[in-house]
């Protein structure tokens, strides 16, 4: 192992500890239970902020997964806290779904079933089961999987529909966030459904689930991966009519490694071979979005020929894994150089060396994007996962 890789692994191990330390010390809500819904860029706790299911599920995953590396009992306890809070207040026992958000007093706020959130709950619950062997966690994960299959799966055209009411009726607003197109099938949700299914299969070797992973990877390959450009297509209607949108460099490089990992878990040799090719192509075209300072830009709008000139924390985290994965597949040192330069960019601009955690990102002029340090979308998932993935991968280098 090269000196550079040893140093990178050492720094990422220290950064993983730092991320977990921040969330351990700052995010636990001792007053209302669970975790604080929002901490702003200046470390102010927003007392009455709603609590998001995605944040809770990602905390559950991050601390469960990290425990397998750190063996720190405090991390396991925080994972348990996340599990107990999710199962008690987000999991909808009556209709078998998951509330999108709850109020600070733990009452349901937004009761829609956003499939993306159910997927993250499965992802977190299956990871927690791996460290706890708590049968209740596995039972809820399996039930959410069956609910997605029953209500969201499109048996005619394949793929999964985005969102439903609490009692699983159709809903007008399907969007994850205001910036998204209001379409019935999206890349982002499909990416995280297959991620969730694959993680569940690691602890529950169900043949039907395995077949669902294989079909989902085939669907993603057919519709979401543009093999001519190497980029992802993002939005479709239920009949797979595309609504053209931006190029998302962060999702391209995340999908590059994550879909290959799911293919490997599926054990389908054809898909593994295909997704190795996709991983390299997607990493190669994502290089378009790299800036000279090593940072990866957020998005590009081809229709306007306009760069969305922001460098978000999660995009950098996924770049670390995606380009390292390309280096592992090809042995091409160019990809490793990108990783090392990107990590330098993160250290210089994204890490909050004073308070801990990662800033949301920076603009073109290197000024801070002053958004949440913790919140609905600002979670310890992308950055802790980047550290863990590279720690594992460098171990076998």
The predicted pLDDT at position 171 comes to 86
Q: Which two tokens stand for residue 256?
A: 């590059």
Is the pLDDT at 337 greater than 90? The verdict is yes
Distance CA 380, CA 60 (A): 10
Would you place residue 180 in the very low, low, confident or very high pLDDT band (cuts 50, 70, 90)?
low
Stronger pLDDT, 386 or 177, i.e. the higher one: 386
The predicted pLDDT at position 2 comes to 87
Q: What is the CATH number of the domain that holds 8?
A: 1.50.10.10
3 state DSSP class of 39? strand
Is the pLDDT at 174 greater than 80? The verdict is no
Share of the chain above pLDDT 70, in %: 97
Question: Average pLDDT of 368-382?
Answer: 97
Is the pLDDT at 200 greater than 70? The verdict is yes
Answer whether 179's CB lies under 8 Å from 107's CB: no
The predicted pLDDT at position 397 comes to 60
Question: Average pLDDT of 360-389?
Answer: 98
Would you place residue 19 in the very low, low, confident or very high pLDDT band (cuts 50, 70, 90)?
very high
The label of the residue with tokens 């300072």 reads 293
- The DSSP line for 129-167 is HHHH--HHHHHHHHHHHHHHHHHTB-TTT-SB--EE-TT
The predicted pLDDT at position 375 comes to 98
The predicted pLDDT at position 203 comes to 98
Mind spelling out the 3-state secondary structure of 268-281? CHHHHHHHHHHHHH
The predicted pLDDT at position 395 comes to 77
Question: Average pLDDT of 92-111?
Answer: 97
Is the pLDDT at 365 greater than 70? The verdict is yes
Instruction: Provide the domain limits for residue 163.
Output: 3-395
Mean pLDDT for all residues in the chain: 96
- E strands present in the chain: 51-52, 91-92, 97-98, 101-102, 108-110, 113-114, 163-164, 185-186, 235-236, 247-248, 299-301, 306-308, 310-312, 361-363
The predicted pLDDT at position 205 comes to 98
Question: Average pLDDT of 147-151?
Answer: 98
Question: Average pLDDT of 331-344?
Answer: 98
Query: 92 has which bridge partners?
Result: 97
pTM over 0.85: yes
Tell me whether residue 396 is exposed, middle or buried, using C-beta atoms within 10 angstroms of its C-beta: 0 to 12, 13 to 18, 19 or more.
Answer: exposed
Answer whether 237's CB lies under 8 Å from 243's CB: yes
Question: Average pLDDT of 300-323?
Answer: 97
Domain tally, the chain: 1
Question: Average pLDDT of 93-116?
Answer: 97
Question: Average pLDDT of 12-34?
Answer: 98
**Closest listed residue to residue 118, CA positions, set 132, 137, 99:** 99
Is the pLDDT at 260 greater than 80? The verdict is yes
Is the pLDDT at 1 greater than 70? The verdict is no
The predicted pLDDT at position 59 comes to 98
Is the pLDDT at 316 greater than 90? The verdict is yes
The predicted pLDDT at position 371 comes to 98
**What is the chain's Cα-based Rg?**
20
The predicted pLDDT at position 100 comes to 97
């Amino acid at each position: 192992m090269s000196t550079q890789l040893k140093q990178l692994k050492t720094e990422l191990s220290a950064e993983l500890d730092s991320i977990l330390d921040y969330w351990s010390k700052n995010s636990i809500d001792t007053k209302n239970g669970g975790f604080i819904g929002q901490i702003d860029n200046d470390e102010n706790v927003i007392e009455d902020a709603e609590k998001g299911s995605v944040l809770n599920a990602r905390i559950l995953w991050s601390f469960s997964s990290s425990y397998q590396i750190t063996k720190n009992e405090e991390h396991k306890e925080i994972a348990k806290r996340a599990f107990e809070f999710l199962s008690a207040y987000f999991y909808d026992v009556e209709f078998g779904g998951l509330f999108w958000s709850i109020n600070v007093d733990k009452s349901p706020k937004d009761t829609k079933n956003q499939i993306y959130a159910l997927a993250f709950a499965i992802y977190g619950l299956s990871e927690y089961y791996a460290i706890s062997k708590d049968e209740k966690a596995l039972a809820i994960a399996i039930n959410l999987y069956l609910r997605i299959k029953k209500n969201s799966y499109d048996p005619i055209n394949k793929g999964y529909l985005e969102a439903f009411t609490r009692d699983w009726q159709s809903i007008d607003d399907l969007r994850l966030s205001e910036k998204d197109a209001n379409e019935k099938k999206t890349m982002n949700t499909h990416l995280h459904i297959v991620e969730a299914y694959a993680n569940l299969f690691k602890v529950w070797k169900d043949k039907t689930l395995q077949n669902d992973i294989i079909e989902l990877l085939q669907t993603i390959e057919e519709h979401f991966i543009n093999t001519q450009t190497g980029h992802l297509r993002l939005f479709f209607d239920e009949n797979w009519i595309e609504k053209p949108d931006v190029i998302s460099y962060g999702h391209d490089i995340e999908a590059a490694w994550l879909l290959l990992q799911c293919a490997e878990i599926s054990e389908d040799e054809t898909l593994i071979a295909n997704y190795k090719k996709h991983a390299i192509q997607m990493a190669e075209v994502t290089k378009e979005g790299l800036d000279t300072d090593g940072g990866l830009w957020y998005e590009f709008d081809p229709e306007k020929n306009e760069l969305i000139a922001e460098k978000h924390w999660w995009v950098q985290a996924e770049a670390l894994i995606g380009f390292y994965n390309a280096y592992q597949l090809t042995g091409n040192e160019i990809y490793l150089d990108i990783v090392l330069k990107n990590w330098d960019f993160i250290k210089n601009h994204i890490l909050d060396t004073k308070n801990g955690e990662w800033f949301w990102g920076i603009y073109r002029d290197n000024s801070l994007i002053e958004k949440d340090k913790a919140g609905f979308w600002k979670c310890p998932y992308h950055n802790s996962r980047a550290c863990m993935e590279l720690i594992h991968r460098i171990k076998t280098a």
